[in-house]
Amino acid sequence: MPRLKSRTWAGFALAGVAAAGVFFYLRWQRTPSVAELYARIPQDGRVITSIDARALRAAGILDLLAGGKGIEEPDYKQFVADTGFNYKQDLDQLLVASTRGETHAWLNGRFDYSRLEAYARKQGGTCADGICRLNGSVPGRYLSFSRYRAHTIAFASSADPEAVKRLLAEPSALSPPPLPSQPVWFILPTAVLTDESLLPTGTRSFATALAGAQRVTLAIGPQGQRFEAALDVTYRDPGEARQAMRELQAATTLLQRMIARERKEPNNRDLSGVLTKGEFQAVGARLSGKWPVERVFLENLAASSTQP
């Protein structure tokens, strides 16, 4: 009888170990959601960008935006050859938090991590304790990356060679705000909206109207046969939201009149065809806006980014 009990307990123990193994394997294989990754990125005054590459690939937009010659430079070709990773087909999701001097990013997709490690060492870097570190192309900048899950990698570019550890630390205990469902979205700090060097030509008056906001989100996604840029802004009180709406409407009207004065029409291939069609609404302390974006605008944007 004691021997039978011993075997029974041994069976229970083996079953428990097997169950734990299955649990950790499934957890390792599961790709974290954008909300989970968002809770781990630094958010102190950074531009946060999310790109659902899988959705853009399915819509035929990823090739459009990434197909220019500028991305096919020798360094990138060598990286693809050495690692086997090509974001056009292997990247599914990208979440980035960036400032002028530092970038933290999460990447979901298909990676051959052993080749990524080999690439880091080939470039003079080191891989230890689950983290690879190597010199960046800019003096004083370092690249660091680590495998977080089977299909998820943490990456950082910073003056700190250990910067990727910030992503691997415990996530924020704060509940993340509602995140846009569109395949591309940005959360913009007010510092960006007041820095003219970061603003595209013709957008200054629009950005100025948003400068006092607490949170600014711009999302881009398909809308019927075209695309739509959707603005979502939160203010401290309803009066600020209404004032910002009036300023955005005034900026739109002014742009329309300036184009008409020159006896021209808004061009769907550039920002004039987008910004002149904005519609805005203020409800409580929240401001929303939308601009239609024609496919030809994205095509022209991609083409211009490849010009020398």
Q: What is the pLDDT of residues 13-49, one digit of tens each?
A: 555 555 445 444 344 457 899 999 999 999 888 999 9
> Residue 122 is part of which domain span?
56-168
Q: For the segment 141-161, what is each residue's pLDDT rounded down to a tens digit?
A: 999 999 999 999 999 999 999
Strand order through the sheet with 279-283: 126-128, 131-135, 142-149, 152-158, 103-109, 91-98, 47-52, 184-188, 215-223, 226-234, 286-293, 279-283
The pairing of beta strand 226-234 with beta strand 286-293:
antiparallel
296 and 190 together in one domain: yes
> What is the predicted pLDDT for the residue at 17?
53
Confidence grade of residue 74 (pLDDT, cut at 50, 70, 90): low
Does residue 195 sit in the same domain as residue 150?
no
Structural domain includes residue 46: no
Does any domain span residue 14?
A: no
Closest to 182 (Cα-Cα) out of 31, 34, 38, 30:
34
Q: What does the pLDDT average to over 266-276?
A: 88
- The verdict on residue 132 lying in a domain is yes
In a domain, 7, yes or no: no
Tell me, what's the pLDDT at 26? 44
Q: Taking a C-beta distance cutoff of 8 angstroms, is the pair 208, 193 a contact?
A: yes
What's the confidence (pLDDT) of residue 308? 46
Which element (helix H / strand E) includes 26?
helix 2-29
User: Within this chain, do residues 244 and 144 fall inside the same structural domain, yes or no?
Assistant: no
Same domain, 198 and 148: no
Better-predicted residue by pLDDT, 195 or 27: 195
Let me know whether 200 and 284 are in one domain.
yes
Q: What is the dihedral of CA 176, 178, 182, 184, to 10 degrees?
A: -40
CA angle 47, 50, 54 (to 5 degrees): 160
Sorted by sequence, the CB contacts under 8 Å of residue 86 that are 6+ apart come out as 80
Enumerate the H helices of 30-150 as residue ranges. Answer: 34-38, 53-58, 62-66, 74-83, 87-90, 113-122
CA distance 198 to 232: 20
Q: Supply the pLDDT for residue 95.
A: 94
